[in-house]
Amino acid sequence: MNVHTRWEDKNSDESRMAWARKFFDTMTPFANGGVYANFISEGEERVSSAFGKNYERLAKLKKKYDPDNFFRMNQNIVPA
């Protein structure tokens, strides 16, 4: 789940951000707890969360096809 809001009036910043945070908090119980890989900017833990049960399998494939981790400038899957 991602909450994307837009507004034009800078004077509305506080109220609009408060609304977005409240909406996110209200909807959290209905989310599955996963993360969208393209929205991650930090931490291997978040990356493994994005790929869930597939992360271990992907890490093994990465070891086979990219053992030196050349393709790492993204939400990196570390070779197993």
- Domain locations in the chain as residue ranges: 10-65
**Of 36, 35, 34, 47, nearest in space to 73 by CA:** 47
pLDDT at 27: 93
pLDDT at 73: 86
Averaged pLDDT, 64-69: 97
pLDDT at 42: 65
Torsion sign across C-alpha atoms 33, 37, 43, 47: positive
Q: Check whether 61 has a pLDDT greater than 70.
A: yes
What tens digit of pLDDT does each residue of 7-54 get?
A: 999 999 999 999 999 999 999 999 887 778 887 766 667 888 888 899
